[in-house]
């Protein structure tokens, strides 16, 4: 399966009745500021460089962001924090991301999410995330990234579930094939299962790395939980790791 074939399957997905109803209602009612725009109102596929060594995994589309524009992190405040950081790090050709028709190009990076439909209150259920998990697993199989950046705890845990399944000789979750990297914040000498911590780094398989970051939501950026300096440090660390495994 190619990424184009997978994305076609994702866009046509109707596995979760609650999410189907919500995403379509939002697209029909619209926010006043976007009343003259056509909303996407469907599951949002991943996008970026198909040859990427870096895979970025978020939570789920925003009701009036990706659910409106049809592209991950595009047209909302989270993307307004993410893409300038990617531009500074050299992964994006520009700092703005407003629509699928803009000139944004990602280099060596593919961006996706744990859930593909906008959920009410930004909270997909575990069952809904389980329905979406095979899509993320297939993206990993197709792209074969060297570094995965999990934006938020949900994405972090979803990636761990997938890598646990990739190691059939291992017992569930508590015995994931990981090791902590000396000097990484909050992970030195830690026993499994690995805990989510901003800046934490784990080697899931040989030369396959997982980096954890706070999600660039306004809940984190406006409160100072995630600062520009902290976020830039994540992408610097990503570049260091892909350079090591090249």
- Looking at residue 118, its pLDDT comes to 97
Q: Answer yes or no: are the C-beta atoms of 162 and 133 closer than 8 Å.
A: yes
User: In the chain, what are the domain boundaries?
Assistant: 3-245
Give the closest residue to 105 by CA, choosing from 87, 88, 81.
87
Q: Are 113 and 154 in contact (CB under 8 A)?
A: no
pLDDT higher than threshold 60 for residue 172? no
Interacting residues of 13 by C-beta distance below 8 A, sequence separation 6+: 43, 116, 117, 131, 135
CATH 1.10.10.60 holds for 3-245: no
Mean pLDDT on 151-160: 96
- Segment 176-226, tens digit of pLDDT: 444 444 444 444 444 456 789 999 998 887 778 999 999 999 999 999 999
Nearest-10 Cα torsion for 88, 91, 94, 98: -120
Q: Is 229 left (phi over 0), alpha (psi -120 to 50) or beta?
A: alpha
- Nearest to residue 50, comparing CAs of 130, 132, 112? 112
Question: pLDDT tens digit string along 33-42?
Answer: 999 999 999 9
**Integer angstrom CA distances of residue 67 from 78, 143, 173, 177:** 13, 24, 32, 35
The span from the CA of 110 to the CA of 91, in Å, is 10
Give the model confidence (pLDDT) of 44-75 as tens digits. Answer: 999 999 999 999 999 999 999 999 999 999 99
């Amino acid at each position: 399966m190619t990424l184009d074939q997978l994305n076609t399957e994702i866009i046509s997905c109707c596995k979760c009745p609650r999410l189907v109803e919500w995403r379509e209602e939002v697209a029909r009612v619209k926010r006043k500021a976007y009343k003259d725009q056509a909303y996407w109102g469907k599951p949002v596929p991943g996008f970026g460089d198909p040859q990427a060594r870096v895979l970025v995994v978020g939570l789920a589309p925003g009701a009036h962001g990706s659910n409106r524009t049809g592209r991950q992190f595009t047209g909302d405040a989270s993307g307004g924090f993410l893409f300038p950081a990617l531009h500074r790090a050299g992964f994006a050709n520009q700092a703005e991301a407003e629509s699928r028709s803009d000139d944004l190009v990602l280099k060596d990076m593919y961006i996706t999410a744990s859930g593909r439909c906008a959920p009410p209150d930004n909270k997909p259920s575990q069952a809904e995330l389980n329905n979406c998990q095979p899509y993320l697993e297939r993206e990993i199989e197709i792209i074969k990234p060297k570094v995965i950046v999990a934006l938020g705890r949900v994405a972090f845990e979803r990636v761990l579930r997938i890598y646990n399944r990739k190691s059939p000789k291992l017992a569930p979750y508590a015995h994931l094939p990981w090791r902590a990297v000396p000097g990484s914040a909050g992970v030195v000498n830690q026993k499994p299962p690995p805990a989510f911590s901003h800046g934490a780094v784990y080697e899931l398989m040989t030369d396959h790395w997982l980096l954890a970051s706070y999600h660039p939501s306004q809940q984190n950026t406006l409160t100072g939980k995630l600062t520009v300096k902290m976020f830039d440090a994540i992408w610097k660390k990503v570049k260091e790791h892909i350079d090591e495994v090249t």
